[in-house]
Structures are given as structure tokens and as C-alpha cells.
Amino acid sequence: MTDATPAAPLTTAEDNQWASFAHLGGIIGFLPALIIWLIFKDRGAFTSAEAKEALNFQITILIAYIVGTILSVILIGGLISLAAWVVSIIFSIQGFLKAKDGVAYRYPFAIRLIK
């Protein structure tokens, strides 16, 4: 039986890098932010905070996609999904650009389910 040693804390550069990747991953959905948060939440405070922020925003976008799909019977549903996709890409890139420089990014709107 091996003794599990805790992983080393992230350096400042690594912390900024993984935090920025959590935001950038939003371009493809919520899984990158979730995976980064689960793996690095105890190794870097900045990564933990930024990955949670990105995850909460991506959950909000997922809800918008679901509403858009339900409403797709009428034209507005398609517009909701399209708007959610565009907003997700724009804000994910903005979050990436801030986090890579070590600056915390707060999405303009998000349901904050993960505390």
C-alpha cells in the first residue's frame, strides 16, 4: 500500500495558466471548467476561484441552451440558443485574457450554484 502525498501547490504562472484555461474551455462547454476545478481546486487559490466562476457561468449558459431548445418550436428559441452561444464565446475569451494575466474575472451574469 502506498502513502498518497498531496500534490504540490501550483506556481503563480501555473495558477494563472490553469485559471485562464478554465475560462477558455467555456468555448466548448462546462466540462473543462469542471475538470480543472476538481483537479486543481486544492492546489491553487486563483485557479479554484476562476474555475468556479467559469463553471457557474457555463451552467447558466447550459440552462439558456435548454430553454432555447424547449422554445425552438417557435423562432425565438433558436435566437436564444444562438445568443447564448455568442455570449459564451465572447465572455469566455474575455475571462481567459484577464486570468492569464492574474486578474480575477467576474462574468456580468451567472447563477452562482458552486460556492
| Per-domain residue ranges of the chain | 12-99
- pLDDT digits over 13-63, tens only? 999 999 999 999 999 999 999 999 999 999 999 999 999 999 999 999 999
Whether pLDDT at 112 is above 70 = yes
Separation CA 115–CA 113 (nearest Å): 6
Task: Scan for cell 476561484, then name that residue.
Answer: 49
pLDDT at 75: 65
11 confidence band (pLDDT: 50, 70, 90): very high
pTM: predicted TM-score of the whole model, two decimal places: 0.85
Output DSSP code: residue 8: P
Please, is 5 exposed, middle or buried when counting C-beta atoms within 10 Å of its C-beta (0-12, 13-18, 19+)? exposed
Q: What's the rounded Cα separation, in Å, for the pair 24 and 26?
A: 5
